[in-house]
Amino acid sequence: MHDIRAIRENPAAFDAALARRGADPLSSDVLRLDEARRTAIHAAETAQAEQNKASKDVGAAKAKGDEAEFERLRALVAEKKAEVAEMQARAKELDAQLTNLLMTVPNTPLADVPPGADEEDNVEIRRWGTPRVFDFQPVEHYELAGVKPGMDFETAAKLSGARFVVLSGAVARIHRALAQFMLDTHVEEHGLSETWTPVLVREDMMLGTGQLPKFGEDSYQTTNGWWLVPTAEVTLTNIVHGLTVDEGSLPRRYVAHTQCFRSEAGSAGKDTAGMLRQHQFEKVEMVSVTHPDQSMAEHARMTGCAETILQKLGLPYRTVVLCTGDMGFGATKTHDIEVWLPGQNTYREISSVSVCGDFQARRMNARFKPAGGGKPEFVHTLNGSGLAVGRCLIAVLENGQQADGSVELPQALHPWLRGKTRLTAEGTLV
């Protein structure tokens, strides 16, 4: 959420930042509500002061035996009491309207975020690895002979519908090994704190990280009001919801492996084949909570953590900066990491690493106490995939495929597979 004081001080800058994201100017609507709210608050405070004074004068009139003045003042107290209640209710209503409006406004991009309308305007900043040259025509993951026995879309459709999969046998084991490999690497080498969190959350947790109120259709809600998390960003970031932590405890770095659930609203007809875009999937998610002065350095560090996983697996990738029109709602800057998929002959997103500034912290009311004293300040929050497990499985299968439909598995993964190195064309691990 945005700082109303910053909007008051420079509404033109606020509108200009929104314009960079392709959004309409909103400062006039925000300031109109803000002014009306402040007027109502001032009126309530004025009426309260008049009520308090009249209440004191009632006693004095009673003591003097001035019955007429006593009755006049008593009526005035009742009138001011009603006025206070009316103005307080009005102020509360306007405050809710202002909050609801600000809750729907996206974060503003940093000055160095490239302008653009969509993914075509994203800017590549580096590549790692060289895509393998095949002496046969590579295929997509679900077409591999060794994968077919362990990747069942028909049974999943019977159980749950489209965009689900049942993994079994060797493929399920590789999928699990990838998640364990990612977690252990992030904990042992990157210093993240392994965390296990619920996948059902209260509505205010979704509000805190920005999935609500604007994007409710992208997630699933249970009949009793819980929401299924679209990512562990929701739970990990909200660990500091409503807290004021010591500056010395920052940065806080979390990592969690969870199921994730997305309705994929608006993506009809996209990536329907295979398991690239699913309603239920697994992700190893990283979240950092930092001092404001550290957040940009932390963004670079987190991007490096995600890239390290791909490097260890020997998977070629490129890293891009998202343009203003392609960034997520809560981000002020985002790096996307795109892994090479030879079956599609293109790079596809496998991680987004975003810095959110104090945008989520304001929604969550998450602050820190400065070590040198002074007023508590809002923390900065960051999140990133480290990595999407299913998409990493796709990349491992496609990049390691052989002409006979078997798959040579990355050496880094061998210890998590008890020394197994290959998925045979028959679908077994050897």
Residues 58 and 124 in one domain: no
362 is catalytic: no
Q: Choosing from 27, 391, 398, 406, which is the catalytic residue?
A: 391
Q: Which of 79, 86, 349, 377 is catalytic?
A: 349
Set 352, 367, 398, 406: catalytic member: 352
Q: Is 219 annotated as a binding residue?
A: no
125 is in an annotated binding site: no
Q: Is 74 annotated as a binding residue?
A: no
In a domain, 131, yes or no: yes
Is 221 inside any structural domain?
A: yes
Check: CB of residue 380 under 8 Å from CB of residue 295: yes
What is the rounded CA–CA span in Å between residue 413 and residue 428?
16
285 and 388 belong to one structural domain: yes
Q: How far apart are CA 295 and CA 353, in angstroms?
A: 12
- Specify if 109 maps to a domain: no
69 marked as part of a ligand binding site = no
* Residue 119 marked ligand-binding: no
CATH number of the domain to which 377 belongs: 3.30.930.10
Q: Which of 103, 134, 167 is the last residue of a domain?
A: 103
SS (H, E, C) 208-261: HHCCCCCCHHHCEECCCCCEECCCCHHHHHHHHCCCEEEHHHCCEEEEEEEEEE
Question: How far is 235 from 387, CA to CA, in rounded Å?
Answer: 17
Please report whether residue 348 resides in a domain: yes
- Shared domain for 288 and 249, answered yes or no, is yes
- The whole-model pTM stands at 0.93
The domain that holds 97 is classified in CATH as 1.10.287.40
Is 177 within the bounds of a domain?
A: yes
Same domain flag for 171 and 67:
no
- Same domain for 70 and 128, yes or no, is no
On whether residue 110 sits in a domain, the answer given is no
350 a known binding residue? yes
Domain contains 114: no
Pick from 103, 136, 162: which residue ends a domain?
103
Residues forming beta bridges with residue 355, ordered by sequence position: 333, 382
Give yes or no: 262 in active site: yes
- Contact criterion met (CB below 8 Å) for 360 and 265: no
298 a known binding residue? no
Please state, in angstroms and rounded to a whole number, the distance separating the CA atoms of residues 237 and 291: 14
Same domain flag for 243 and 381? yes
**Does 96 belong to an annotated binding site?**
no
Q: Determine whether 194 is an active site residue.
A: no
Per-residue pLDDT of the chain (430 residues; tens, 9 = 90+): 899 999 999 999 999 999 999 999 999 999 999 999 999 999 999 989 988 888 888 878 777 777 788 888 878 888 988 999 999 999 999 999 999 999 999 999 999 999 999 999 999 999 999 999 999 999 999 999 999 999 999 999 999 999 999 999 999 999 999 999 999 999 999 999 999 999 999 999 999 999 999 899 999 999 999 999 999 999 999 999 999 999 999 999 999 999 999 998 666 667 778 999 999 999 999 999 999 999 999 999 999 999 999 999 999 999 999 999 999 999 999 999 999 999 999 999 999 999 999 999 999 999 999 999 999 999 999 999 999 999 999 999 999 999 999 999 999 999 999 999 999 999 999 9
Whether 228 and 86 map to the same domain: the answer is: no
Give the Cβ contact number of residue 51 at 10 Å.
18
Q: How far apart are CA 210 and CA 386, in angstroms?
A: 20
Domain endpoint, select from 78, 103, 128: 103
User: Which of 20, 21, 253, 262 is the catalytic position?
Assistant: 262
Sign of the alpha-carbon dihedral angle for 389, 392, 398, 401: negative
Among 8, 277, 348, 362, the active-site one is 277
Q: Tell whether 51 and 133 lie within a shared domain.
A: no
Could you please report the per-residue DSSP string of 350-386? Answer: EEEEEE-TTHHHHHHT-EEE-TT-SS-EE-EEEEEEE
Which domain, by its residues, includes 27? 4-103
Give the total number of structural domains in the chain. 2
On whether both 376 and 339 belong to a single domain, the answer is yes
Same domain, residue pair 400 and 284: yes
Domain co-membership, 150 together with 73: no
In a domain, 54, yes or no: yes
Q: Annotation-wise, does 222 bind a ligand?
A: no
301 and 378 inside one domain = yes
| C-beta neighbour count of 246 within 10 angstroms | 10
